[in-house]
Chains A and B, each alone.
Chain A
Amino acid sequence: MITLQHVTKTFKNGTTALEDVSVEIEKGEFVFIVGASGSGKSTFIRLLLKEEETTRGDIYVAGKHLAKLTTWKVPHLRRNIGTVFQDFKLLQDKNVFENVAFALEVIGKPKHVIDQRVPEILEYVGLSDKLNNFPDELSGGEQQRVSIARACVNRPLVLLADEPTGNLDPSTSVDIMRLLDKVNRIGTTVVMATHDQAIVDAMRRRVIELDRGKVVRDQARGVYS
């Protein structure tokens, strides 16, 4: 599903965020990317979305060679990838339903599809009773659920999560992890960047550890360190 071959990313100012990274992630896997701040976790995610170009090496996502993907095809790549962030990125002037529907509207899905899928996915993440609430009326955990619903409503092949529990307390974090696990069990490949040790240790999934841009550990049922 995701293949990185000898990927190096050097920014214009000379800093090297990733150095000779080779990783193979199969369909349906759940992978943690761990490492200290500045170890290259976020760059890893941004490269998969083609928000950044590799300096050297090749990346394949969902069968597409990213370096050869023309600019106008990038949106179609992103429709196969759901994204979740630490800061939720919800629109404050839209309610829960509208926030999730927005993701379908802007890729041109017709109304009957939106009216069917949005309540469906909101029920899946456990927010059926909050459809008309606005983000500032929700707890952090609930907001992250909305953002996961938005990421999954178009049924992506891959879900990328960058520190999804970074702003949440431990017990809420556990709820969010249960939800991501649930998403993974229906076949979605999940890649999660985190430095939340407790969560990684509890989940016992594959762990890829980055240190100053290099893969220093790739362990099948790993712990944080």
Chain B
Amino acid sequence: MARFESLFRETTSGLRRNGLVAFAAISTTFVALLLFGLALLVSRQVSLMIEATTGNVEVAVYLTDPVNPDTVDTLTGKLTDLPVVANVEYETKEEACARFKRLFANQEALVNNVDCDALPASLRVKLDDPENYAQVAAVLEGQPGVARIVDQSRFLDRLFAITGVFRVGVLMVSIVMLVSAAVLIANTVRMGLFARRKEIGIMKLVGATNWRIRFPFLVEGLVESLIGAAAAILFLFGMKVYFINPLYGQIEFVPWVTNGDVLVIIPWLVAAGAIVAVLASLVGMRRFLDV
């Protein structure tokens, strides 16, 4: 297809002409998307750890073995009667085992070594306001069948506070970097337009459409940011393999992000890169949009 060939020939020659600025745009996009991906992965890691340790509930009421169905009903009834309780769920030993296996799917040794019988059944209680833990504890303390009541909200709060600061910080830095990347991409596009102003003048004279004139520049910006995105993705995989893989099974009962988690963030990185590039290219071309 000759017309596509001619379209992309302009793009590649544009990239070669502004080599240095294109390199700056690509590397800034790379760092920006790397940080963005890192923030996403850290969020994922934190939520994995939270699920592993708390199952996402504020109060866990562990029951004595073996569990008497009547006890479960009585305790559930007492809890739901409390106005501060939002939701109560019963997790059987089998369910606890399944959750454990799912969380640690990439640490076979751990799964094989843990006897599912050791995991207790529990009532998992969600509160309207975690501050009301004491009321729940008062009602259940000393009841038959209750082994242990654990207030997980304080732990959750602290974890969220620490990781929240980290996540927001990384996200902010990555946004600043993305803006710089956009400015650099807009700049390469503008330099390209300037270098080719004679060509563009002729294109307008012979009746090339605006779309036809802008397309190569749009693609140029897009290619720059996608190269940056590809590098960021490779780097994230590399980091995951070198830093996370050796940790599998090293610390007991801590799940780690998997390759699948890294795969899931790829579309986000590519989309962020593409959006930034298209916006930046359009801004760079703004002055040239008229016929």
Contacts and interface: CB of A to CB of B under 8 A. Distances in A.
B202 A79 contact: no
B202 A110 contact: no
B3 A105 contact: yes
A111 B291 CA distance: 26
B212 A91 contact: no
A150 B2 CA distance: 18
A109 B213 CA distance: 15
Interface string B202-221: 11111111101100000000
23 contacts: A51-B291, A71-B210, A72-B209, A75-B204, A75-B207, A75-B208, A75-B209, A77-B207, A78-B205, A79-B207, A81-B207, A89-B205, A91-B202, A106-B6, A106-B203, A106-B212, A106-B213, A107-B206, A107-B207, A107-B208, A107-B212, A108-B212, A110-B3
Contacts of B2: 105, 110-111, 114
A51 B201 CA distance: 11
Most A CB atoms within 10 A — which of B199, B204, B205, B212? B205
B285 to A, nearest CB: 15
B212 to A, nearest CB: 6
Interface string A157-182: 00000000000000000000000000
Interface residues of A, number: 28
B291 A74 contact: yes
B198 interface: yes
B17 to A, nearest CB: 11
A91 B198 contact: yes
Given A74-B291, A105-B3, A111-B2, A91 B206 contact: no
Contacts, number: 62
A89 B201 CA distance: 9
A157 to B, nearest CB: 12
Chain B interface size, as a band, is: 10 to 19
Interface string A77-88: 111110100000
Contact of A75 (B198, B201, B210): B210
B16 to A, nearest CB: 12
Interface in B159-209: 198-199, 201-209
Contact of B291 (A71, A83, A89, A103): A71
A9 B97 CA distance: 84
B206 A103 contact: yes
| 10 cross-chain pairs, A with B, having the tightest CB-CB distances, nearest first | A111-B2, A78-B207, A79-B207, A106-B208, A103-B206, A75-B207, A105-B6, A75-B209, A106-B203, A74-B291
A49 B212 contact: no
Contacts of A71: 210, 290-291
Contacts of A108: 3, 212
Interface in B240-262: none
Interface in A82-119: 83, 89, 91, 102-103, 105-111, 114
Interface string B1-15: 011001000000000
Contact of A106 (B206, B290, B291): B206
A89 B202 contact: yes
Interface in A112-162: 114, 150, 154
Contacts of B204: 75, 78
A204 interface: no
A103 B202 CA distance: 8
B192 to A, nearest CB: 14
A49 B3 contact: no
Contacts of A105: 2-3, 6
B209 A150 contact: no
Nearest to A114: B2
B212 A150 contact: no
A108 to B, nearest CB: 5
Contacts of B208: 75, 106-107
Contacts of A154: 206-207
Given A106-B206, A107-B207, A91 B199 contact: yes
Interface string A60-81: 0000000000011011111111
A89 B291 CA distance: 18
Contacts of A214: none
B194 to A, nearest CB: 15
Contacts of A74: 291
B207 A150 contact: no
A109 B208 CA distance: 11
Most A CB atoms within 10 A — which of B207, B209, B213? B207
Nearest to A154: B206
